[in-house]
Amino acid sequence: MTDGASGTAPRVPAGAASGRSPGGRPETVASVAESFSELQRTVRRWKARLIAAVGDDVESATQLLLHTVESEGPMRASALAASVQADLSTVSRQVATLVARGLLERGADQRDGRACLLTVTDTGRAAIADYEQGRQAFFDTVLSDWSAGEMLQFARQLERFTAAYDRSHVAWMTERTGFTDGHPGSRVHGSADDHPADLEEGPTA
């Protein structure tokens, strides 16, 4: 079987091809880390192809903001920026575009007349639904030869892994850089760019 994203055969943990045990915990952890890195590289190649085709990964940013406002809103632009852990000026520009497209709308904050609250419009909710339908169809293709039991097990394990990764990453960032929950504080030492599980720099193809 080949990797549908890259056309290459999926990596096999050391020893697995010969039927031998891949080893103890260090070897098993290394296998998971390598699989995760390969997933990152695959996603990075996908984003590079998308940007090459359309000029920017606008759709991902659009859906992130729309989903956040729909699930957590109505909310101010500052709260939205904090929620998606992005710079306020960047989010403000993206919000202005979404408002102009009729996907978001601004309304008065009843508690503070000087502020505006963002809400998703009917058009925005339709855009979310269209995106979700497309995503569902894509993953249905990706998982076409998986059984229902395999998919359920994978979903549970991936959810567990993601939660553990997020906790560990925040703890690592706080210790190394003074960041807390993704928001910059006083840097202690180290760099935010050298986390061993972050996306590697290098060729995207």
Residue 85 DSSP code: T
Nearest to 84 by CA among 197, 186, 181: 181
Q: Decide: helix, strand or coil at residue 63.
A: helix
Tens place of pLDDT per residue across the chain (205 aa)? 444 444 444 454 444 444 445 568 988 899 899 998 988 898 888 777 766 765 555 577 788 899 999 999 799 999 999 998 888 999 999 999 999 999 999 998 777 767 899 999 999 999 999 889 988 999 999 999 999 999 999 999 999 999 998 888 888 888 877 655 544 443 433 444 455 555 443 433 3
The token pair that represents 197 in the structure block? 């599980």
The token pair that represents 7 in the structure block? 């056309």
Decide the pairing of beta strands 112-120 and 104-109.
antiparallel
Q: For the structural domain made of 58-123, what CATH number should be given? A: 1.10.10.10
- Whether this prediction's pTM lies above 0.75 is answered by no
